[in-house]
Amino acid sequence: MKYAFIAQHKKTWPVDLMCRLLGVSRNAYYRYCLYQQSRQPDPDHEAILTAVKELAKVSGYSYGSRRMKAKSVTDALRMALWRRRPAAGLIVHSDRGSQYASKAYRRLLKAHDFAGRVSRKGDCRDNAVAESFFASLKKERVQWRHYQTRAEAQQDILDYIVMFYNNWRLHSTLDYSSPNDFESAMAQMKKAA
């Protein structure tokens, strides 16, 4: 990706400068250029690429990588189970995405005696908590970072959610205390009762 950027902009900025700024060696960049020149065209690959581009155009560029997967939501729920250890009877709220209707996700809910609840169609208030979370994620973390890879972005966002947001961040819905403070207060109230 860096080499392609340099090749695209070599008439605008010096190659040496771009290599230094992007943290790549000039030799590696020039090896990339030689490889690109010596690469044999693959007619099958080009035909598939043309067909995919046409499909994207016809769909108004709405087709892309497979969508929001059941594994992602089941992994997230398992992590929450491991971290929070909620009691049976928990209501798990989600949107109407197909991954929340998947067999794997429903089995996981049933195995822990949780109730799944989805937003009512067209009722934006149902998503207020999720919308607030994503606004916080964007404002407090993502807009200040420049990720080099998808894996780096995933790890940083996971750290934000697991280490900061779910533990130490002050939440207005918890009377401006952190989830850890709130859990401690709830445990003390249970002991006192």
Least confident among 103-107, 126-130, 132-136: 126-130
What's the pTM value of the predicted model, to 2 decimals? 0.43
pLDDT digits (tens, 9 = 90+) for 45-57: 888 888 888 877 7
Residue 107 pLDDT exceeds 80: yes
Alpha-carbon Rg for the chain in angstroms: 24
Average pLDDT over residues 85-91: 90
Residue 66 pLDDT exceeds 60: no
pLDDT digits (tens, 9 = 90+) for 173-193: 777 788 778 777 777 777 877
Contacts of 86 (CB under 8 A, 6+ apart): 80, 112, 114
The reported pLDDT for the residue numbered 114 is 94
Residue 90 pLDDT exceeds 80: yes
